[in-house]
Structure 1
């Protein structure tokens, strides 16, 4: 199903004092913009919390250094930067 939705640019949450935008007038180029998109999706719908909730943590709570959410976030970040 095709849509007619073609925004000229997407605006993301600022990064420090820098304004972050996604534009579609650059021709055929690549970037690491997937990480920014994932950050915004996570911010709006709690994606990483929802993914982490899919796992049951059977580890000893006294021995845990990183939460399941932290581990999921690390894995998602490494996959998005590798693609």
Structure 2
């Protein structure tokens, strides 16, 4: 069994309960799917196609950016 004590820390007790944090989850990311979506959009121009068929009802005098912002 791996020694996990070096990746664990104890925090101040909360309502008489022990609180511990572990940092042995490995390398994680929460936006990996967005990277794939960005690549697919760049190839297929999905956002551009969708933007061309959805009207922008806002008054141009009062907006600071277009419906689809450029990079």
**TM-score bucket of the superposed structures, by smaller chain:** 0.3 to 0.5
Return the structure number with greater relative CO, CA threshold 8 A, min gap 6.
1
